[in-house]
Amino acid sequence: MPTPQDILLEEFNGETHVKSAYVEGSKHYCIKIASGFFNNPKINLSSSQGMMILLEAKTGIPKCILLEDGQLTDYRTAAAGAVAAKYLANKDSENVFVVGTGIQAKLQVEFLLKIFPIKRLFVWGRSEDKA
């Protein structure tokens, strides 16, 4: 798989990441574009945007364009955290400490609840209202 491309837009407090994947012999390949523009919430816009493009391997013709506003990226990141915890944490872990109160904190807890018998949740974040 190619190395991800990062486009940093410091003047706008934003970044865009372009990733792609192709498995030899597959009929399709995929390009993912995910961006974060961290001033957007100040103007009532999501800080995360994203799209995935599925293309035919033989011709390069786009077969599907999915505008997903970063949701798949959020789920993939949370799933990666849960997989890491599954293999690195004690199997009977009952306590979770989460740093942050944003979407990743919420999804990390949601995914961890599916694989651990969580009884206590500790949250640290800048916003007590969101905790």
What's the mean pLDDT in 53-69?
96
Instruction: Please tell me the pTM assigned to this model.
Output: 0.70
Q: Kindly report, residue by residue over 114-124, the tens digit of the pLDDT.
A: 999 999 999 99
- Neighbour tally for 98: CB within 10 Å: 17
Per residue in 22-33, pLDDT tens?
Answer: 999 999 999 999
pLDDT, tens only, 87-129: 999 999 999 999 998 889 999 999 999 999 999 999 999 877 7
67-71-74 Cα angle (round to 5): 140
Residue 28 is encoded by which pair of tokens?
């399709």
- Compute the distance between CA of residue 98 and CA of residue 91 in angstroms, rounded to an integer: 18
